[in-house]
């Protein structure tokens, strides 16, 4: 079964840091670009960051650039999101998501059409 | 940034109805558009990719069309499970991605 399982969510104070993990199984992880998408309470999804299959390319939303770092460990089929300088507006459910097309040209377009999502993990930034 | 605008924001319909949701992009995105369905407390589910391609396992009553800046999602013969929130997503460029959503409610 194709599955993504996030972990690492928590309550953190403004200015703090947190690392999210996403364990992938049931598909060839190394063939797919991966992304993080978040959803604040009552709002629509917001793309956060994407990473190419070989970690050669990373893209970030303007709202998190310079504060968040996406990475992946292909030997352990795991995606990460390191978040620092957290703000109240970063409070959201964070999902990891898999691109639907294997081995596409990461530089030609962003990942999209996410066909597999994790269950989501809550990150709350509050004092 | 590319802005994605969905209409309507809320749509009331009955089981068996045919409904259409529109998504407009602020600039051309070719056919790099996806549609998702989200029910409360769950992750979005991919319905349509590349504007008109039905994702595997999605019922054929869902269809997508459009190119450039205007796109539609059509659901024929609404079923009880279809009452949910629908989002479009552009993946032509990294500047902005999802629409604000259309909530499909039971009339």
Span A68-114, pLDDT tens digits: 999 999 999 999 999 999 999 999 999 999 999 998 888 888 888 99
Q: pLDDT class for B96, splitting at 50, 70, 90?
A: low
Rounded to whole angstroms, how far apart are CA atoms A88 and A11? 11
Report CB contact under 8 Å: B98, A44.
Answer: yes
Rounded average pLDDT over A34-54:
95
Is the pLDDT at B74 greater than 90, yes or no? yes
Instruction: Count Cβ atoms within 10 A of the Cβ of residue B50 and give its class: 0-12 exposed, 13-18 middle, 19 or more buried.
Output: middle
CA B49 to chain centre: 10
Chain A residue nearest residue B53, CA to CA: A113
Q: How far apart are CA A40 and CA A87, in angstroms?
A: 13
Angle, vertex CA A51, rays to CA A47 and CA A53, nearest 5: 140
* Dist. CA B56–CA A2, nearest whole Å: 14
Q: Determine the 3-state secondary structure of B39 from DSSP.
A: coil
A114 contacts B55? CB cut-off 8 A:
no
* Nearest chain B residue to A41, by CA: B41
Burial environment of residue B24 by CB neighbours within 10 A (0 to 12, 13 to 18, 19 or more): middle
Question: What is the C-alpha to C-alpha distance for residues B55 and B14, in angstroms, rounded to an integer?
Answer: 25
C-alpha span between B88 and B3 (Å, rounded): 11
From the candidates B32, B94, B101, which should be mutated to test the interface with A, based on the most A CB atoms within 10 A?
A: B94
> Using 50, 70 and 90 to split pLDDT, how confident is the model at A28?
very high
What is the pLDDT, as a whole number, of residue A106? 86
Q: What is the average pLDDT across A44-62? A: 93
Please provide the DSSP assignment of B3-65 as one string: -EEEE-SEEEE-TT--EEEEEEESS--TT-EEEEEE-TTS--EEEEETTTEEPTT--TTEEEE
C-alpha distance from A77 to closest chain B C-alpha (Å): 21
Residue of B nearest to A94 (CA): B43
Q: Which residues of B fall within a CB distance of 8 Å from A119? A: 43
B97 with A46: Cβ contact below 8 A: yes
A67 exposed, middle or buried (CB, 10 Å; 0-12, 13-18, 19+)? Answer: middle
Interface membership of A16 toward B (CB under 8 Å): no
- Residue A65 clears pLDDT 80, i.e. is over it: yes
Could you tell me the two tokens for B98?
Answer: 């999802």
Cβ A125 vs Cβ A9: under 8 Å: no
- Strand A121-125 and strand A11-12: the pairing is parallel
Residues 47-76 (A) with a CB less than 8 A from some CB of B: 47, 50, 59, 61
């Amino acid at each position: 079964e194709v599955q993504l399982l996030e972990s690492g969510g928590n309550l953190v104070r403004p200015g703090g840091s947190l690392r999210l993990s996403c364990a992938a199984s049931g598909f060839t992880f190394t063939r797919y670009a991966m992304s993080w998408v978040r959803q604040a309470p009552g709002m629509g999804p917001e793309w956060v960051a994407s990473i190419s299959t070989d970690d050669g390319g990373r893209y970030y939303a303007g709202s998190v650039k310079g504060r968040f770092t996406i990475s992946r460990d292909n030997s352990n089929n795991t995606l990460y999101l390191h978040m620092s300088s957290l703000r109240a507006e970063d409070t959201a459910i964070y999902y990891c998501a898999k691109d639907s097309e294997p081995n596409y040209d990461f530089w030609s377009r962003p990942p999209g059409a996410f066909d597999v999502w994790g269950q989501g993990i809550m990150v709350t930034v509050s004092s | 940034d590319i802005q994605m605008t969905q209409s309507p924001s809320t749509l009331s319909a009955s089981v068996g109805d045919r409904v259409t949701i529109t998504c407009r992009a602020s600039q051309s995105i070719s056919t790099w558009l996806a549609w998702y369905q989200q029910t409360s407390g769950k992750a979005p589910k991919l319905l349509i990719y590349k504007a008109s391609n039905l994702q595997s396992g999605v019922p054929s009553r869902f269809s997508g069309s459009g190119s450039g800046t205007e796109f539609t999602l059509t659901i024929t013969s609404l079923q009880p499970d279809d009452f949910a929130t629908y989002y479009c997503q552009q993946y032509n460029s990294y500047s902005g991605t999802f629409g604000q959503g259309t909530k499909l409610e039971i009339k």
